[in-house]
């Protein structure tokens, strides 16, 4: 995985954001696994559309969040992406 | 005179329901998600939506809530294909809903219905399709088999009991055979089917035979619910309490005989037992033995804001039982969806309710009914903090208060 990798949700994975709990759920209907994150992870994962590569996704986010640099966001997101790839919640195209 | 054994069986059916989940659901990610939510959690956005894709229907069933006003079957105001696609995209991408029910009218009357199903499945949305099963063609079913995901999707076919004459007397001549034929075709293509039925005066005499019918058709999901009279013409379909209890007893026997058929029943409620001396004794004995805990399975979908109903002409409701001008949150052709959704907080029927402040908070049975339906309470007393109209115990209490 690098900045040119294009990611998308795996087939049969649903996303659900519960704002008042600040909990983001990914539900894998294929293997019945559930992954939870927070609102920040929702903002990142929601942008994985199978078209834009990771670099573009993070750059777009960095423009909205002036408190964090592109590299800071990329390093945080990379850890999440790797975990979700390992657990089959997202796939690289 | 009702035998105690029958009332006991009916109560077993009521209490047993609280432990029920559909096949495999207990360990599913959906169930993990539901279990992770705090008790009484109120959703910011609904997680399940029922969308009536058309008001049109090929049948004129005697018990249909449209039957009082035939003009309601008019498909003139139905959503366009593009509107429905846009709506599904919004529900998935913005509201993050987890289940969509496509219903009608009769959804298969829409020529674009398979395309609608395909669009929802492109979004991986778990689907429930509700149909009367009379106009499905093998081509439709073959197409569905290529689109649907059997693990999460299901097709509901309505039958008015297991008896052909009973079914046809409500839905029209020949409709039972057509529905059965559709079920056989759906099973031929390995699609998951659920038979939905209601307890009415017509279906009651042979209702329990649905288990044999399901078994013979290789259908392992069955849902039986109580019929709610909502029109003067429907009154002949109402079932007296004694017959309801006896039916519950017979259904429980069949549930034990056919454990592989997953039957979800909602034909008795706590209020039925409060109307009977023996019923109250059974409730008291149960409460003596079990720790007090609010019965979580009580329908509070409007209270928890987890469900939304959208009519074919775009009216939005929080509850399918109370669809009327004063309960609608707005119309999608006139207002933005977010604006409509926010109106739930000002609609008198569906305010958030705190169980510690309801008028019946000290009733010993509240642990079993959870204070019941808000909309019913509002409709009867003009206050969601009262007990629902169905509660005889609260009516007794009010009478004593006025004496």
pLDDT tens over chain B, length 403 residues: 688 899 999 999 988 754 555 555 667 999 999 989 987 788 899 999 999 999 999 888 888 877 667 777 888 999 999 999 999 999 999 999 999 999 999 999 999 999 999 999 999 999 999 999 999 999 999 999 999 999 999 999 999 999 999 999 999 999 999 999 999 999 999 999 999 999 999 999 999 999 999 999 999 999 999 888 777 888 889 999 999 999 999 999 999 999 999 999 989 989 999 999 999 999 999 988 886 665 555 555 566 778 899 999 999 998 877 788 888 999 999 999 999 999 988 888 877 777 788 899 888 888 888 888 888 898 899 998 999 999 999 999 899 888 8
Q: How far is CA B61 from CA B55, B158, B167, B275, in A?
A: 14, 11, 10, 31
b/e per residue, B312-340, with b = 16+ CB within 10 A?
bbbbbbbbbbbbeeebbbbebeebebeeb
Residue of A nearest to B153 (CA): A29
pLDDT digits (tens, 9 = 90+) for B228-285: 877 788 888 999 999 999 999 999 999 999 999 999 998 998 999 999 999 999 999 9
pLDDT tens over chain A, length 93 residues: 899 999 999 999 999 999 999 999 999 999 999 999 999 999 999 999 999 999 999 999 888 887 888 999 999 999 999 999 999 999 997
Q: Find residue B263's DSSP bridge partners.
A: B222
The answer to whether B117 and B101 have CB atoms below 8 angstroms apart is no
B107-166 residues touching A, CB cutoff 8 A: 124-126, 149, 151-152
User: Which residues on B lie below 8 Å from A30 (Cβ)?
Assistant: 151
Q: Distance between CA atoms of A68 and B389, rounded to whole angstroms?
A: 56
Ordered alpha helix ranges (H), chain A = 39-45, 54-64, 70-86
Give me A42's structure tokens: 């929702």
pTM metric for this prediction: 0.93
Cite the beta strand spans of B246-402 per DSSP E: 262-266, 307-310, 315-317, 330-331
* pLDDT recorded at residue B210: 97
Spacing of C-alpha B21 from chain mean position: 14
| Nearest CB neighbour to A19, from listed B33, B44, B151 | B44
| Nearest CB neighbour to A16, from listed B38, B42, B47 | B47
| Nearest CB neighbour to B44, from listed A20, A34, A36 | A20
Residue of B nearest to A12 (CA): B124
Phi, psi at residue B124, to the nearest 5°? 65, 20
- The interaxial angle of helices A70-86 and A54-64, nearest 10 deg, is 130
First-residue to last-residue Cα distance in chain A: 11
């Amino acid at each position: 995985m690098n900045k040119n990798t294009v990611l998308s949700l795996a087939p049969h994975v649903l996303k659900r954001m519960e704002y008042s709990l600040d909990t983001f759920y990914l539900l894998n209907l294929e293997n019945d696994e559930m992954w939870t994150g927070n609102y920040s992870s929702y903002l990142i994962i929601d942008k994985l559309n199978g078209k834009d590569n990771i670099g573009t996704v993070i750059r777009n986010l960095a423009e909205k969040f002036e408190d964090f640099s592109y590299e800071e966001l990329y390093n945080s997101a990379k850890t999440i992406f790797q975990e979700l790839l390992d657990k089959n919640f997202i796939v690289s195209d | 005179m009702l035998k105690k054994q029958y009332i006991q069986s009916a109560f077993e059916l009521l209490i047993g329901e609280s432990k029920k989940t559909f096949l495999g659901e207990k360990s599913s990610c959906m169930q993990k998600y539901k279990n992770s939510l705090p008790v009484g959690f109120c959703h910011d956005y609904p997680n399940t939506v029922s969308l009536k894709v058309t008001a049109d229907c090929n049948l004129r069933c005697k018990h249909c809530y449209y039957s009082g006003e035939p003009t309601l079957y008019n498909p003139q105001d139905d959503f366009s294909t593009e509107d429905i696609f846009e709506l599904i995209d919004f529900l998935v991408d913005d509201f993050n809903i987890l289940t969509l029910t496509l219903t009608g009218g009769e959804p298969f009357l829409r020529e674009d219905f398979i395309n609608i199903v395909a669009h929802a499945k492109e979004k991986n949305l778990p689907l429930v399709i509700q149909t009367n099963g009379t106009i499905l063609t093998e081509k439709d079913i073959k197409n569905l088999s290529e689109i649907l995901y059997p693990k999460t999707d299901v097709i509901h076919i309505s039958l008015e009991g297991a008896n052909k004459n009973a079914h046809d007397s409500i839905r029209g001549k020949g409709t039972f055979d057509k529905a059965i034929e559709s079920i056989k075709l759906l099973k031929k293509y390995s699609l998951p089917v659920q038979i939905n039925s209601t307890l009415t005066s017509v279906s009651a005499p042979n209702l329990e035979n649905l288990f044999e019918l399901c078994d013979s058709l290789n259908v392992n999901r069955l849902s039986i619910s109580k019929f709610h009279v909502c029109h003067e013409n429907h009154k002949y379909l109402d079932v007296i309490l004694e017959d309801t209890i006896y039916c519950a007893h017979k259904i429980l026997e069949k549930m034990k005989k056919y454990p592989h058929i997953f039957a979800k029943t909602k034909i008795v409620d706590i209020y039925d037992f409060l109307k009977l001396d023996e019923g109250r004794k059974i409730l008291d004995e149960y409460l003596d033995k079990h720790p007090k805990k609010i019965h979580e399975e009580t329908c509070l979908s409007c209270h928890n804001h987890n469900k939304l109903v959208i009519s074919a002409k775009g009216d939005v409701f929080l509850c399918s039982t109370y669809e009327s001008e004063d309960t609608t949150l707005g119309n999608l052709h006139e207002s933005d969806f977010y604006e409509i959704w926010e109106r739930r907080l000002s609609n008198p029927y569906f305010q958030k309710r705190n169980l510690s402040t309801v008028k019946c908070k000290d009733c010993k049975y509240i642990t079993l009914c959870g204070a019941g339906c808000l909309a019913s309470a509002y409709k009867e007393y003009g206050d969601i903090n009262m007990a629902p109209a169905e509660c005889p115990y609260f009516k007794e209490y009010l009478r004593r208060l006025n004496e």
